[in-house]
Amino acid sequence: MSAIVQNSFQQDYIVLIVDDNATNLGVAADHFREHGFRIMTATNGELGLKRAKLGHPDIILLDVMMPDIDGFETCRRLKADSATQDIPVIFMTALANVEDKVKGFEVGGVDYITKPFQHEEVLARVTTHLRIRDLAHSLQSANQELTELTQSLQKANADKDKFFSIVAHDLKGPFMPLLGNLEFLIEMAETSPPLETKKMGESAYLSAKNVYNLLENLLQWARLEQGRMEHQPVIFNLRLIAEQVIDLLEANAVAKGLVLQNNVPPGVLVYADENMLSTVVRNLTSNALKFTSRGGQVTISSQMPAVMSQKTDSLLPTSYSLVEVSVTDTGVGVSQTDAAKLFKIEVHHSTIGTAKEKGTGLGLIICKEMVEKNGGQIWVESEVGKGTAVKFTVPLVDFGLPMSNFGLGEQSEIGHQPSATENLVPPPPEEIAILSQLTMVGDMHGLAERANYLKQLGEPYIPFANKLRALARGFEEEEILALISQTA
């Protein structure tokens, strides 16, 4: 039976053993280690709670009779903490009465082993509960995947329906005035005055431009949805992007009698896909111009919010500052009800501009996806009749953070050198860090093995390694911590 269990469980499972008796702890740890398990240990309930939360063991063997807090209270606290409540707990005790067994199950234990116990029995119970836990996790994972797949399919269907709706309705609509204008233009070419012909030509041009804008947005949105638009973040100056957009749209602003200005401070460096960010600022500014009446103003600006993002992304640091960019107008504004529809593909919301400009309803949706792809968020602040501010965040190159976070190489400082105590030569700083980590999770076997490794580094480290090994074999955690802290 032992061989079968060993062959079935060579999967690097972690067992946390909590027992105030160092002898029992050492025997149990050695037995499980022989069968391929990784071992964490704790000599009391409080330490067991910390180890469980820090090391995330797969199962816990918990002694009932311990000083300070007993096994029942330890288990109760484990089950009250969301970080540890799903870890199966098996009680180990010399108590054999029914009341104690019932109490163990009531506080959340999954099994109960009475001392003195047979190691083969303990091993069999542990492997059984690990299999049960794995099956439960697999079922939970499968249900989660099914839920996510269902939601993804529902979204895909909604997006597809919206796409075809736009193609069938919005794309067809602009062609009617275009075809009509071109038909009239052909008839007017020989009989109408040049001025009327010119006006008809301008009308046909605007219709064709609307069709082109819609097609461009549809294709851009489709590329985003299919993941075919590559995200290539670089560091660039945000003010220069704003200047380029203003140069591009200045003629539109002048034609409507609007003031278009850039209030982005010089030297604001951001980390994002430059083409995407340029598209976002351009779309938002174009929208602002469209919904602002003659004599109004549109402003591109930025400010530093008190925000630190913790979102993890393969192309972004796990912790980075954000800069808030806004495009603000003094236009018609939008109600809160309509503002909630602006970023939803399933809700078609398109409004005529102050000069009868037509929109596609896709511009802000594309902006939202591009902003989120670059690690930011986008939202609208508006009041009917007073204007609108569309704001979004983008990662800021913060020189207070390590530049390696942004792929620019590392800035490092050499730490202070440890000093020797008790005539012991301390190991190098990187080894001290490893020893600290092993001690934190109660891996005494790992500490003993590391002590053997330290001996190989050179003769000066042998006294330190010998003392460390002796302390680890005796589960003397406080002494190990003192030894490491004195030499760190």
DSSP string, 19-55: -S-HHHHHHHHHHHHHTT-EEEEESSHHHHHHHHHHH
Q: What is the band of 486 on the pLDDT scale with cuts at 50, 70, 90?
A: confident
The answer to which of 97-111, 205-219, 226-240, 309-323 has the lowest mean pLDDT is 309-323
Report whether 338 contacts 151 (CB < 8 A): no
The answer to whether residue 438 is domain-embedded is: yes
Q: Are residues 221 and 313 in the same domain?
A: no
Q: Are residues 200 and 103 in the same domain?
A: no
For residue 227, the model assigns a pLDDT of 64
Cα three-residue angle 381-382-384, rounded to 5 degrees? 170
Predicted confidence (pLDDT) per residue in 175-227, tens digit: 766 777 788 788 777 777 888 888 778 777 776 776 776 677 667 666 666 66
Q: Are residues 240 and 220 in the same domain?
A: no
What number is the average pLDDT over the span 137-158? 86
Q: Are residues 306 and 271 in the same domain?
A: yes
Strand 38-42 to strand 14-18: parallel, antiparallel, or no bridges (unpaired)? parallel
Q: Are residues 246 and 387 in the same domain?
A: yes
pLDDT at 411 over 50: no
Domain that holds residue 43: 2-138
The answer to whether residue 145 is domain-embedded is: no
Q: Are residues 433 and 387 in the same domain?
A: no
Predicted confidence (pLDDT) per residue in 64-98, tens digit: 989 889 999 999 999 999 889 999 999 988 776 78
Q: Are residues 313 and 350 in the same domain?
A: yes
For residue 391, the model assigns a pLDDT of 94
Please identify, among 412, 441, 460, the residue that sits at the C-terminal boundary of a domain.
412
For residue 163, the model assigns a pLDDT of 64
Q: What is the CATH number of the domain that holds 102?
A: 3.40.50.2300
pLDDT at 347 over 90: no
The answer to whether residue 156 is domain-embedded is: no
Most trustworthy range by pLDDT among 96-100, 297-301, 450-454 = 297-301
Please identify, among 90, 116, 138, the residue that sits at the C-terminal boundary of a domain.
138
Q: What is the band of 310 on the pLDDT scale with cuts at 50, 70, 90?
A: very low
Q: Give the CA distances from residue 55 to residues 156, 363, 469, in Å, rounded to whole numbers and listed in that order.
A: 39, 47, 22
What number is the average pLDDT over the span 54-72? 90
The answer to whether residue 178 is domain-embedded is: yes
User: What CA–CA distance (Å, rounded) separates 252 from 258?
Assistant: 8
For residue 170, the model assigns a pLDDT of 56
pLDDT at 285 over 50: yes
Q: What is the band of 359 on the pLDDT scale with cuts at 50, 70, 90?
A: very low
Percentage of the chain beyond pLDDT 90 is 20
Predicted confidence (pLDDT) per residue in 325-342, tens digit: 999 999 988 888 777 777
pLDDT at 157 over 60: yes
Alpha-carbon radius of gyration of the chain:
34
The answer to whether residue 473 is domain-embedded is: yes
Report the mean per-residue pLDDT for the chain. 79
pLDDT at 8 over 60: no
Tell me which amino acid residue 137 is. Answer: H
- Give the number of domains in the chain: 4
Residue linked to tokens 């091993």? 123
The answer to whether residue 224 is domain-embedded is: yes
Q: What is the band of 418 on the pLDDT scale with cuts at 50, 70, 90?
A: very low
Q: Are residues 272 and 388 in the same domain?
A: yes
Q: What is the CATH number of the domain that holds 319?
A: 3.30.565.10
Q: Are residues 274 and 400 in the same domain?
A: yes
The answer to whether residue 57 is domain-embedded is: yes
Q: Are residues 327 and 395 in the same domain?
A: yes
Q: Are residues 190 and 270 in the same domain?
A: no
pLDDT at 120 over 80: yes
Neighbour-count burial for 300-317, b at 16+ CB within 10 Å, e otherwise: bbbeeeeeebeeeeebbb
The answer to whether residue 283 is domain-embedded is: yes
Q: Are residues 80 and 109 in the same domain?
A: yes
User: What CA–CA distance (Å, rounded) separates 220 from 308?
Assistant: 30
Neighbour-count burial for 140-155, b at 16+ CB within 10 Å, e otherwise: eeeeeeeeeeeeeeee
70: phi > 0 → left, psi -120 to 50 → alpha, else beta; which? beta
What number is the average pLDDT over the span 355-363? 52
pLDDT at 116 over 90: no
